[in-house]
Structure 1
Amino acid sequence: MAGNKFENTIAAFDAINAEDPHMEIVKGKEMPKELLYGHRMTGMLLDFMPDASETLRLAARCQHIKRWEIPREDYPMDRKGYLMWRTKLKKFHGELAGQLMKEHGYGEAAIQEVDDLLNKRRLKTDPTVQVLEDVVCLVFLKYYFDDFIAKHRDEEEKLVDIVQKTWKKMSEKGHKAALAMEHSEEALGIVQKALA
């Protein structure tokens, strides 16, 4: 029954993310952006930590659930606005995930655990939160960094800074996984500069 509850909750997360109006093209096929992101998070988590707990697997899948509801443009386009937006998103993701988990039979303890993970509470002291943070960073580096480079090609300092900030958020194990990945030449050059 537990497996059922888990699978049904994952399916509920995916059903919501399938409503994302923003699309990405993968292997010539259109896919809703946040649905794709959820699947990439799951894949990366299972590579990085094959024995991840049920709550960690749930948190990875709903990391960006219904993110399009709260657009970045609704907040000031500065550091403060960015942080306000991120705080609002984490709260929103946690509440929505909790609601769906409850509907599918999860109790308060598991719901709280996923909420803590999504809100990155106790990041420096809870190894599970650190694993999720590592996976978020690895997914960014593997799937989204090259697009980010293309957008900010003439701002090398900014790109190096982003990699340094990403690196600071990661554990030693996360660093090793990031360095073991295949990167484009351009991305690798920026990573090497960031770590020099």
Structure 2
Amino acid sequence: MTIDASRAPGLTPAALRRLTEGGRGPRVLDVRTPGEFRTVHIPGSYNVPLDTLREHRAELLDHLDEDVVLVCRSGARASQAGGALAEAGMPHLRVLEGGMTAWEASGAPVNRGEARWDLERQVRLVAGAVVLVTGVAGLLVPGVHLIGTAIGAGLTFAALSNTCAMGMMLSKLPYNRGPRTDIRTVVASLRDRS
């Protein structure tokens, strides 16, 4: 059964802020990398990176109630996480509209850690550098410029499919991983809040 994760209802930063200020707001699952989460996150949110969520979705489902909001940088990974949880049987999910970018822009409270580049910025740097270097090298070595063409094709596919292979590869780097998210710790935290 295929579920269209893009149809998960959105929740504006203002609406989420009202819910969280009321005491027992929804469970907020942040699906960004641990490195991104450590840089900035919504107070009280749980870091469950997208890959971890996909791998342990059935286990997580046992400890989530119906009020869950998924968060990432802009909404794309949160929508993918929504699809994974919906396929596992969780029908009531919401995605924070505009992600952490919109949350911060609205002036909502955040917990801040050490500043680091977000994944999208890293993708732009790597893709741009590869295209620049292969374009210049192509002046000396025929055919090398085609590597830049392949990167362009990959970025076009990433935009059309709302996925990013380069971003997934970069998320595996130690800089982005940070301390590994321990699913047992997340589940215990979810259980304690119940």
TM-score, L = length of structure 1: 0.28
Give the number of the structure whose residues are more often helix, by fraction. 1
Structure with the greater relative contact order (CA < 8 A, sep ≥ 6): 1 or 2? 2
TM-score, L = length of structure 2: 0.28
The structure whose Rg is larger is 2
Give the number of the structure whose residues are more often strand, by fraction. 2
